[in-house]
A = this chain, B = another copy of it.
Amino acid sequence: MNKVLVVLSGGMDSATALAEMRASFEAEHVETITFNYGSKHNDRENRAAKELAAHYGVKNTVVHMPFINELFKSDLLKSGGEIPEGHYADPSMKRTVVPFRNGIMLAIAAGFAESIEAHAIVLGNHAGDHAIYPDCREDFTHPMAEAIAAGTYANISLGRPFEHITKTQIALRGHQLKVPYELTYSCYKGEETHCGKCGTCYERKESFKDSGIEDPTVYQG
């Protein structure tokens, strides 16, 4: 059976990637995989992912990786320091990078995709991610896609529908697709509502402002 596996964080980009897949495939041909690696915001964003999967009528599998919080160094993790405030592309945000996180998530997604007989994985990475995150850039995603295709019997492909567009353009596309952005969650602090001051909150706000779409997000303060 033709099946795609969407890496669904619960944020705007992966929610829009899921909407894109559901616009092309029936619900039974789409599954989602979500990761919990012990970040400060995982529990809250995992709930967003679950609600988005339910909205689109697709299966959501959560993979727990407590070893990342225990062994890796990053302020995004519960074991790390405070989340910095400031712009998403600011050098201070480097402290929030979880080393090779996308590589790990994609590798596990590849093995799971082969187990459920999916032919493709879909990742919602976009052009704006490239500033800080080495594992969002094309010089990472291209060889990673090649490694996944060569390393699986099914030659699983890695779809990146938004690799060359910005988050603002994603928001515009998501608006056309009627993505329920009020269900998505971006904030690195992981509280019930968005803090409005961390890098991902800034980026979220900007994408709504610049695209002229009404921002349904509840920000603190």
- Residues of chain A touching chain B, judged by Cβ–Cβ distance below 8 Å, are 61, 63-65, 67-68, 71-73, 97-104, 106-108, 110-112, 114-115, 134-135, 137, 139-140, 143-144, 146-148, 150-153
> Which one, B61, B110, B139, contacts A150 given CB within 8 A?
B139
- A153 — nearest CB in chain B belongs to which residue? B134
Q: Which residues of B contact A102 (CB under 8 A)?
A: 151
Contacting pair A99 B73 (CB below 8 A): no
- A107–B108 Cα distance when bound, in Å, is 9
Contacting pair A103 B135 (CB below 8 A): no
Report A61 CB to chain B, min CB distance, Å: 7
Q: Which residues of B contact A106 (CB under 8 A)?
A: 107
Contacting pair B134 A111 (CB below 8 A): no
- A110–B68 Cα distance when bound, in Å, is 12
- A37 — nearest CB in chain B belongs to which residue? B111
Q: Which residues of B contact A135 (CB under 8 A)?
A: 150-152
> Which one, B65, B114, B144, B150, contacts A65 given CB within 8 A?
B65
Contacting pair A148 B103 (CB below 8 A): yes
Contacting pair B73 A115 (CB below 8 A): yes
Q: Which residues of B contact A134 (CB under 8 A)?
A: 150-153
- A110–B139 Cα distance when bound, in Å, is 16
Contacting pair A98 B111 (CB below 8 A): yes
Q: Which residues of B contact A114 (CB under 8 A)?
A: 99-100
Contacting pair A67 B72 (CB below 8 A): no
Additional A-B contact list (19), CB under 8 Å, known A107-B107, A107-B108, A144-B144 = A63-B71, A67-B108, A97-B153, A99-B112, A99-B114, A99-B115, A99-B152, A100-B107, A100-B148, A101-B111, A104-B107, A104-B111, A106-B107, A134-B152, A139-B150, A140-B147, A143-B144, A143-B147, A144-B151
Leading 9 A-B pairs by shortest Cβ distance = A99-B114, A135-B151, A143-B146, A100-B111, A107-B107, A143-B143, A140-B151, A144-B147, A99-B111
Contacting pair B71 A61 (CB below 8 A): yes
Q: Which residues of B contact A140 (CB under 8 A)?
A: 147, 150-151
Contacting pair B115 A110 (CB below 8 A): no
* A151-B103 contact in complex given A64-B67, A71-B63, A146-B143, C-beta closer than 8 Å: yes
